[in-house]
Structure 1
């Protein structure tokens, strides 16, 4: 056949397209290939998931469901045409039955999640409590059957009928990721088959995409020849899919053989990086978005230093054994060395926050600045006075690149005049050279402070109106400001006493120490007298701001469980304070287990309540937060601190330098959280609540919580619920996961529910809840559909009304093609004039004015090929033709077709 060329006066040659067809020599295997690929996809995903975990389900029922749903959906997909209506029936049936079985499916999900949770984190703790084991097998079986049904619907249609990887990936990949990102081993064979299926369907959906396929009708220019765009696609995709699956399997077999022969193993660095990425994605939550993104970027090697103090958002922590800090100490110290970088004062919504800045507008903070003595200095000054020693130490702290923007400071800083202070929390060196900071300090640790205060000079403290302690009025000592030997501190002390009305006569003033008034050490160290005067005023601020506990039911339950420790009268002497703190520490340790994988705190639960009364597992943040709140309940000012800890064994293991100093590489496993408690007459000092942490060593091997019981004086009844600890006399009573009530008490208004929370109130029937959520779901879907419709209509109107006229007519013609497609009229091979004649033959004068569509076609062709710009009058006539055509199609459509045109295809405005 010879091609006919026509050349016009403009020198443009238009060549007719030649359409050829040949008789098929061999039967087509395309459909069978597609069916085989869909079966491979379904089977590989199911077997890979079931191979990662150990579920209790009815294998026969699950296998039968796989065979039935696979055969049914493959059959109707292969039949095509009107048989595809059965697909709609299957989808509707799936949604209806899923709704009817929703309670069983939810239970099945909970059982499945409990198994995944326990096997992933090697825990015996169920995430969902109170599930009846007898329901496990039927509920999991039902869940698996419905998932197989969903797989069959999605994979068969989008593999056989319309190859597209998006939905198949959405229903298969997340299921496998549950195990992969948690480090659970997947069956190698089935994992490779899953990858092969994904690659096959990706190839099937993209292999025939080229210059000539899809898009709008038009021409392709080659030199001076114009060829109509063809819509025929060369369908060889199914064979390509099978080829890809075979290729992947061959490569996998060869690779496996090579690895076995060479005994190849992934390097530790690759494994570490993989675990980092896995942990970062696993811990991702929108509630903790900033830190989640920081973790992900850090896992990929891009440091984004971000930290908040949200508690219980991560179900585990993992240390990498990398060096975060390099610390050098001038002289070895006894006890633990705490380096802090954050202090939290307000506990709210499972998170620690700093004290509001408005709180620091108190006059006492102006005095700290004026006299250059700060609360951060108190422990060093007062401990030095009690020990009667001027011994100081120096510490140099060099951060790793990862921690370069952080500053860590020890307790007991005293280098007055060269340190910057952040209110009453942190201390910063005046300069930072080479990424290194240094401090002069007096070592302060819980143990040495307790021993010092117990065995040192007896100190009495004044009664503070903001304190809950009751104390007899102390004996006071009178001092003379003029006796202070250092002129600087003499003037400072006199000025402060004079401004605050503390001068009794001449230059004499009183302080709350029962000590000799001629104490030479105090006169030689005016800074100690200055600090004591400031501390008397600062104590009011402390007791007003660091005793707050959330006023809610969760904290009431915690207080009730620890009432024997916190609801006791006591003085505020160091001995009494440490006795209470030690009792709290002992009780928490007895009822809990140190664990780096305690699981996430449920979003509906309070962090401290869940740890102390139910989960009983946690790491330092759990212990520190609980200790702070219990101390506050006992009337002891306390707050939350984070940073790093070095114990005596760490210091002994450090490198001793020629000058006697010691250098220690501080690993990431020494990052820590602890409590700060305020001791009257000393100031803020660290206190350790975490089980296994001492001043000499850290032993965090998990140990079982101890449980003791004694005979009660009155009869009791026990019901399943939260853990409550109670003391009778000198004996401690702890019942794990139980709530104990005295016999005869009214318990009718309280319902004990799984998870340890006591709830009371109106009972709402399940079917009412389901109906409410169903209505809510329907309303959300309707709003989404209407929003989509409004957006498309507005966009189309904008394309018709604004912009370049040539672009507007192109949009109009494209829209006309879509409307005519609803009347089964389609342009073949780009012969636009012939198509316009055919449309006019059937619909001219009926659906629109005679010649309306031919006019629209002529304007569009002139715009596209003759560079002619249509005027507004012509565009209005084109719009009128489209409007008339749309009204005609709407009137002729059935009710179902109208809703499809209005909301699914969004082609017509309709009459809504």
Structure 2
């Protein structure tokens, strides 16, 4: 009888989560993490042309992926290990702080430059205090530190949370931001990210959302990964990237959104005169002005001045574009002073004390309605970069406000170069002369370029009308002849119409239309000067005449005073303005006053409008001028610089604060998200599902010493395996137990454990 009563004894069912450390799951997580990290790194580096060592970045990705996958596979001591790594990270960052900070600046400059070149936004640039030979090392070090954070986040999202949305949030910005500015990263990196997202989504759909992952989910990932990659490769073969054309509806929507963003006063404060460094000639059509004051200028000397906004260097036939940053590398070691201060250097060496006193002036500017990202500077600038607070010298083109919302009030010191009349011989071996000749060679190389077709046509025109070239006459003779011809070549009007599509802007004005305003006359003068071998540039800004000043030395400048002119490089004094627009004589107080001023509708369009897509120019023509004597001419000099712009001296202090603040913000956002998700589970319409969420919460409390309630465990098993729904009393019991256990567990912890309980585990 005893033997008959004996039988198979089955223990009470016990809750046991699915294994997370099976080989298939581990291998799938490693492959997914490597795919995501490589995709992000390559997207980031190729989209913004970052000077980084790809081999070192690859090794870092492999190292970080293996390290963090191992850490998040641990069952215990994850937080202490992460804190130890954070301490090592901070110590290494401090040890390499110079390269870390400079790498951050280099990376930021490259991003801002690339985004600015593909849009009409005005982004600040910062000065780099490293030789260009160290750029790659510094940028690589910064990217390694960045990949450390990203590897940790993705490892946690993939290994611990297996969350598609968290992984997408951590990687998508590296692709979507460039694409939003029509910047295309390397196509293989795009395929990597697409494969990463698709595989993670498929494996996530195959996982059990309530009780974690299984080995089956890992196998699904391993099978899905090659299938997704093969599908993307086949798609690339049958639909090549270069053959893709955006549908007209999508392109129209993008254009409308872009226009709306550009017109936003928050993102584009003030009425922009043009995008700094660029002018679209194809859209320089009819103009209208409001007559409202945009600048207030104070000059006690009441000197007529050009307020320089920017200079453009490369003529494409449809636009004026800036020189690429790489063009300035040759000047890095050649100059001991900033080219924008060339006139100041000259006067400090050659002017007599009484001349300095008579020619020196201080100009105060109040920006009311113009582009506040631009620092409007007079020629003959004496203020050096280190003396200008809130402004940054950008290459040899302009000064840009380094403030996020632009600059409203500032003062600049300058020399009245047209008032200097003596001729000076420069010492051939003096440091100033050596540097000046280096920049003169640079100007002759880069600022005499034109597309070949228009260059040959303008040379023929100059020969027909008797304009000499730089080899047969002095610079003054060539400039005066070109100015005289351009002034008489057309009629001044604000309604010239637009240049026909496909036509060269200067060609259409000089040979056919003969109608235009300052943009047309200035562009034609620069092109003709370049064709004759004279270094020249196109410039925009505002003109202030002697008649504009009041008794107190203040002048109110309306928007109709936005102006364009030519610039010519004068040895020793730098760039000086050349006025080619008929009817404009600043010293006599003469300016063309348009008669179509609007009274109510503000105009954000100046005499020229920005264009974001640069075009290639023709090959340079090398012509030099070796005169060692300086003869004063009726122009004033232009500020220039070879480096980026000034980075705030507080960067070493502000950067850690910003990083720490960002980490705290992310921690709070994570806490809010987890609490919201738990609350959603605790109030789920399905009572049994709600019970499982409550039991999962009680399970997490056991890590903090809170014992599991036996009845709660029985109710959870019933909710999981029984076909019946829990009663209201049963679910109420689970809720009461969860609330009581959570408060009791929290009250029994020390201060550090409470922080972990509340802000990392987010259990209360």
Q: What band does the TM-score fall into relative to the shorter chain?
A: 0.3 to 0.5
Question: Which structure carries more relative contact order (alpha carbon 8 Å, separation 6+)?
Answer: 2
TM-score (normalised: structure 2): 0.47
Q: Which one has the largest radius of gyration?
A: 1
TM-score (normalised: structure 1): 0.41
